[in-house]
Structure 1
Amino acid sequence: MNSIGEAITTVFGIVLVAAIALEIRQRRKRLRELYNVLDAEDRQLVADLDTLVANGILQPYAGG
């Protein structure tokens, strides 16, 4: 009887941790979409493009 209670508690704990992880993942995705946060690779690309514009190799988009 004791092992059944431990098994149920373990399963409940795993489900709870999975639900929390899913909620965190969804909130992080929503915040990234809201604030358009750049990751490290994107930041490096933007920095390289800014350098090219500063050196006159590229011209910034002027819009039509």
Structure 2
Amino acid sequence: MGKINIDRIAAMMFGAILFVLAFITATDSQLNEFEKTIITVIATSVNGLIQAILSTSHNKEE
């Protein structure tokens, strides 16, 4: 419980960076609404997938 999982922290940071990139892209006025929605959905899905993989691999360790 007290052990810090470096892989988990790194993946969370990667997910946060993806989210920020998606937010910057979504707020870019050059893109239309459809493109913004697709980019946001893809980034959210990838982030969710990373978290799901992490939680399953974390549960196997214990």
Q: Normalising to structure 2: TM-score of the pair? A: 0.49
Radius of gyration: which is bigger? 1
Larger relative contact order (CA 8 Å, sep ≥ 6): 2
